[in-house]
Structure 1
Amino acid sequence: MGYVHPTLVQEQSIPLILSGKDVLIKARTGSGKTVAYAIPTLQKLLSITNTTDGIKAVILVPSKELCVQTYECFRSLSRYCSNVINVVSLHLSSADQQKGYLNEYTDVVISTPKMLLNHLKLYSDNILKNIHTFIVDEADLLLSYGYKEDMNKVVERIPATCQNIILSATLNEEVSLLKQKLLHNCVTVKLEEENTSERNDLNEFFIEVSEEKKALLLYALLRLHILKGKVIIFVDSLNFGYFLSIFLERFSMKSVVLNNELPALSRNNIIHQFNRGMYDYLIATDEGLAQSIPENSEKEENGGNSGTNAKEDAELLGDSENEKDEDSEIEKDVDSEIEKDDSDDFDLEDSSEPEKETEETQNDEYNVSRGIDFENVAAVINYSMPASVSHYVHRIGRTARAGNLGTPLSFIVPTSDKDQRILAEIQKYNPPRDGHPVPQRLPFDISQIESFSYRVEGVKRGITPNLIRNTRMMQLRKEALNSSKLKMHFEDNPHELELLQHGLSKQLVRPIAYLRDIPDYLIPDALKPKSNPEEAKRGHEEDEKNKEWKRKRVADPLHVAIKGRNNL
C-alpha cells in the first residue's frame, strides 16, 4: 500500500488498541485514523485461537461512501489473509446477501448505524454476542446528523466485555456523552497536530464578496488559474450545485456534481473519477438537499447588466431557448411509473424496512465532508458557508491530506449574519497564526475582475430552472439504464426502456466556443503573467536582427533586379 512510516496518530494509537484498552482518539481528518484502527483490529483477529462463528468486529461510519472507503482499506490490508478474515460492508450487498453474511462467517462488519440497526431488528440481536471490537468513526458527525437515537440503540446491544474505540475530529458535548456510555477506563489520544492553525500545509483564507458577485469571483479564481489543481466546491443545495456545474461547463471547465440521489456505488465511482483526474472540479453539499435555487439567485438569472455585450447576450439567450425546447421534449418522455422504479433502484437498503426512511436520514448517509478520501485536492472552496465549526473542520479536511499542501477558501457575504457568526466562531476555535486570525482575510479587489461581468451574467441568465431540473433527470435516467436491478424489468417492459433511452444522445449542456478563450484586454494587469526580462531582451535582439536582415535584403541589387523583372 506504499506505507513507509506510520503517521503520528497511527504511531500513538496502534499500541494502545493492541493492548485491549478502550481508546478515544481525537485527530484531524486525513491523518490516517482508518489505518490506525484497521491494523490492530486485523491483528487481533489473526491472533484469536477461538474460532467461533459470528461477527467479531463492528465499525460504524456516517456515510455509505465512507463504508466503501473503509471496506477497501480493510481489504487492502488483509490481502494476504483474506482466506482467514472475511470483511463485509452492508452497503455493498443486497438484502439477501446481507442476511447470509450476518449469520455465518463474517468477521468484520462495516455499516452506518441505521443499516446495522435495521438488521438487528429484522434478524437477531444475537449476531453481536461474539464481537470483541466496536469502533465508532467520525463520532462527532455521526451524532450531529440525526444518528443519536440509532447510536443509543446499537450501544445497548454491545457486550460489556467488548473493546470500544471512538474516533473524532472534534470533541463536543455529544461525543463526551457517548464516551461516558461506551468507554470504560479509556485512554485518550489527543494530537496537537489536529489544530489547523499550527499546520504549515493548510493555509485558510476568506474573501468578502456579495451574493451577486460570487459566481464572478469563482470564474476568475478558476479560469485565470489563481487556484490551480483539483478543487472541491461546497454549496448548500443540490439544485445550486447543478447550477454551478452548468455554469462552469459553459466556460469549458469540466466539473461533476456528487448527487445524493444516486446510489452509493455510483457516487463512489464519481469520487474515483475525480481522484483519477477526469474532472478538475467536484461540486458537493454536506447538509443534504435544501430548497431549489434561492429567490435571489432567480433574480440574478432574470436581472439585467448594464455592462453586458448585446451580441453575446443574444447568442446566450438563443442557445438557452433551444435547450428549453429540447428539455421540454425530454421531460414529456419520462413516465411517472418509470421514475418510481428508478427511485426504488437507487435505495440500496432493505426494501422491507419497517420504518420509512426520512429525507433527513437519507441525507445523513450521504455527506461528502465525512472522511471521504479525496486524492491531491489543492483547494476547498466554501461557496456557501457551513452550518457549524465542526462542519467547517470536516470540509477543509478534504485538502492538505497525507502531507500535501492545501488551501481552504471561504466566500463570506458581508451582510449575512450567518456568515459573520460562523466566521467568528471558526476564528475563535483556531488560535491566531503569526498574529493573524485563522482563517485570514485575503485581499482581493473585485473591481479588478469586473471586465468579466458581462460574460458571467450572460451565462447565468441562460441557466434556467428547467435546464437544471432536466440535467438532474438526465443523470438519473443514465443511472437507471446502467442498473443491474432494473435490467430484468426492462427486458419485460421494453417500451419503458425506449422511453428512458429517448433523448439521451442529446447534450443538454454544451460549452460556448467563444467563451473558452479570454482576450488579453480583459485580463487585469495585476493578473497577467509577468514577462521574463532575459526573454524580453532576447526577443528584442531577434527583432533587431530581423530588421537588419530586411534592410540588407531590400538593398540587395540582385533582389531588386529579380523583383523588377517579376513586375514586368
Structure 2
Amino acid sequence: MTASFSDFRLPESLMRGLARCGYREPTQVQAQVIPLAMDGVDLMVSAATGSGKTAAFLLPTMQRFMDVRKAQGGTRALVLVPTRELARQIHDHFMQLGSYTRLTAEVITGGEPRAHQVAKLRRNPEILIATPGRLLELLDSHHAELGDLEILVLDEADRMLDMGFADDVLAIIQHSPPERQSLLFSATLHHRGLAKITDSLLRAPEVLVIDPVREQHPDISHQMVLSDDPAHKRQQLLWLLQNETFEKTLVFTNTRDGAEGVGAFLQASKQRAAVLHGLLDQRERNRIIGLLQSGGIHVLVATDVAARGLDIPGMDYVVNFDLPRSGDDYLHRTGRTGRAGAKGRALSLVGPTEWNRMESIARYLNLEIEPFSITGLEAKFAGPKRRKPTAKRAGSGRERVRSAEQRDKPKKKHRLKDRKSIGKRRKPSSTSPVEAGHTPLRKKQTAREGAGAAKASGKKEPT
C-alpha cells in the first residue's frame, strides 16, 4: 500500500483538504484506484462500503480539473448515485476536500423544486452529483447538457439496478460524449444486470476487486437476539437503548409503516428518536440527519433508503429490527458503523420466521454471529427444532424400520389373483349366487309352476 498521499503528487490545496478531513494515509481502495484514474483508465471496481471509495474518485477528478482549467464550458464530471442521501454525502466530501480550491459542485436529486435546480445548472458547476431520474428529466427538457463531460462515475451501481434505474442510466450515457473516462463502483460485480450497463459505459476497463464484500469487516462485531414477535422486539430494543453504551444508533425496518410504528414507540418511551423513510421531502430529511449529526437525537429509525450514503461520525450501533431481505442489504445496513477504522456493532432481532434467512445471510457473507441474551426478555422461540435422523432398514434404502407394534401384527396375505384385480370392478361370483344377491333357482321354480297352471286351465303359455 502507498505510504502517503504525497506519493500521488496532489496539488497543495488538495493536500490541505485531506488534512482537514483527517486523512493520514490512503486506504486500500484509494491506493489502487487513484493512480489508475489519474492515468485516464476506465475502471470497474468492487469495494466494500466504508472503504474510502468516495475520495478515490473525487481526488483524481479534482486533480485533473485543477491541472487543466477551462474558463468556459458545462459540467466536466458527473457522479450518478441511487439515493439523495448518498448524493448529499458525496457533496459534503467534496466541500471538505475542495475547501482550499475554487472548484464547484452541485447536487441534483428528486424532492427539490425544479426551478431551483435549473438555477444551479446555469452556474455550470465542474462536478454534478445526481440521481438518475431527476437528471434525465432535466436532460430531456434541455435544462441540463453533458456535451463537455470528461468523467462519468457510477457509484453504488448495483443499488441503482436494484432500484430500477438501468434504463435511466443508459439514457444518460447516450447524452454524454463517448470519449469520456468512466468509473464504475459496485459492492459486487456479479450482479446480473451490470453487463447491460458496462457494455455501453466502459472501454477495456481495468477490473479491481478490493475488500470483497463477503469478507468479515474487521471493525464490526455481529450479534443476534432471538425474539417471539414484533411486540417482544420492541421491548428488547428499548432495553438495548436504555442499557447499552453507544453514541448514535441506527435502527432498520423493512417498511415505512414499520419505521413509523417503532419510532412512535421509542418516542413514547422517552427516547430521543426520529424516523427517516422515502416519503419524507428533502427538507425534512436534511433536518432529521442534521439533528442526528448534532446530537439532537441519538436514535434514527429508518428504512433501507438510509442504508446507502449515510456517513455520520459516531454511528457505533446498528440494530436490524426487521432482518434485511438479502445478504447484500445486510452488508450495506451494517456498513453504516465501523467506518474509517472506528469500532462498530451490529445486532439483529431474529423472529421465528426469520431464522432461515439469518442463517442464509451468515453463510453468504461468511459471518460469525454471536448469540446475545437479554435477562428477563428471553424468547420462547429457541431456534428450529432439530429432526432426529430416520433409521433405515439394512439392505434397503427405501424402507423405514417398522415399529415393534407393526412387527408383532400379523401380516395380511394377498393372493396373486387379488393383486391383479386391484382397481377393477368385482364381478359377482358364480359359485355363490346367494351371496351375490341373485336367486336363479327360485326363478326357475316359479316359471315351472306358472307353466303347469296354464296347462291345467287350458290356456296357452304366452311366448
| TM-score strictly above 0.5 | yes
**CA contact 2:227–2:378 (8 Å) conserved in 1:** no
Structure 1 partner of 2:97: 77
**CA contact 1:59–1:109 (8 Å) conserved in 2:** yes
Structure 2 partner of 1:253: 271
Structure 2 partner of 1:545: none
What amino acid sits opposite 1:449 in the alignment? Answer: L
TM-score, L = length of structure 1: 0.59
1:108 to 2:127 alignment:
yes
Partner Cα separation in structure 2 for residue 136 and residue 420 of structure 1: 35
Structure 1 partner of 2:414: none
Which one has the largest radius of gyration?
Answer: 2
TM-score, L = length of structure 2: 0.72
What amino acid sits opposite 2:201 in the alignment? Answer: L
Deviations 1:458-517 (A, max 9, x none): xxxxxxxxxxxxxxxxxxxxxxxxxxxxxxxxxxxxxxxxxxxxxxxxxxxxxxxxxxxx
Structure 2 partner of 1:422: 357
Distance 1:89 1:398, change over 3 A: same
Which of 129, 132, 140 lines up with 2:150 in the alignment?
Answer: 132
Q: CA deviation at 1:191?
A: 1.3
Alignment of 1:349-368 (within 5 A): 367-368=305-306
Structure 2 partner of 1:68: 88
Structure 1 partner of 2:162: 144
**CA contact 2:253–2:321 (8 Å) conserved in 1:** yes
Structure 2 partner of 1:549: none
1:449 to 2:387 alignment:
no
Alignment of 1:75-474 (within 5 A): 75-82=95-102, 85-91=103-109, 94-103=113-122, 105-123=124-142, 127-171=145-189, 172-192=191-211, 194-197=213-216, 199-211=217-229, 212-225=231-244, 228-286=246-304, 367-414=305-352, 416=353, 419-431=354-366, 438-444=367-373, 448-449=376-377
Partner Cα separation in structure 2 for residue 285 and residue 7 of structure 1: 29
**CA contact 1:99–1:123 (8 Å) conserved in 2:** no
Q: CA deviation at 1:401?
A: 0.6
Partner Cα separation in structure 2 for residue 384 and residue 121 of structure 1: 39
SS at match of 1:207: strand
Partner Cα separation in structure 2 for residue 410 and residue 177 of structure 1: 35
**CA contact 1:117–1:150 (8 Å) conserved in 2:** yes
SS at match of 2:234: helix
Partner Cα separation in structure 1 for residue 136 and residue 259 of structure 2: 32
Bigger share in helix: 1
**CA contact 1:114–1:150 (8 Å) conserved in 2:** yes
Distance 1:218 1:38, change over 3 A: same
Q: CA deviation at 1:79?
A: 2.0
Distance 1:420 1:181, change over 3 A: farther
**CA contact 1:196–1:202 (8 Å) conserved in 2:** no
Q: CA deviation at 1:439?
A: 4.3
**CA contact 1:22–1:165 (8 Å) conserved in 2:** yes
Structure 1 partner of 2:15: none
Distance 1:450 1:372, change over 3 A: closer
Partner Cα separation in structure 2 for residue 273 and residue 443 of structure 1: 30
Alignment coverage as a number of residue pairs = 356
**CA contact 1:7–1:31 (8 Å) conserved in 2:** yes
Partner Cα separation in structure 2 for residue 100 and residue 222 of structure 1: 44
- RCO higher in structure (CA 8 A, sep ≥6): 1
- The runs of 5 or more residues in structure 2 that have no matched partner are 1-20, 380-463
Deviations 1:354-382 (A, max 9, x none): xxxxxxxxxxxxx1001221221121111
Alignment of 1:497-508 (within 5 A): none
**CA contact 2:213–2:365 (8 Å) conserved in 1:** no
TM-align CA RMSD = 2.3
Distance 1:50 1:229, change over 3 A: closer
Distance 1:426 1:186, change over 3 A: same
- The runs of 5 or more residues in structure 1 that have no matched partner are 287-366, 432-437, 452-568
**CA contact 1:68–1:268 (8 Å) conserved in 2:** no
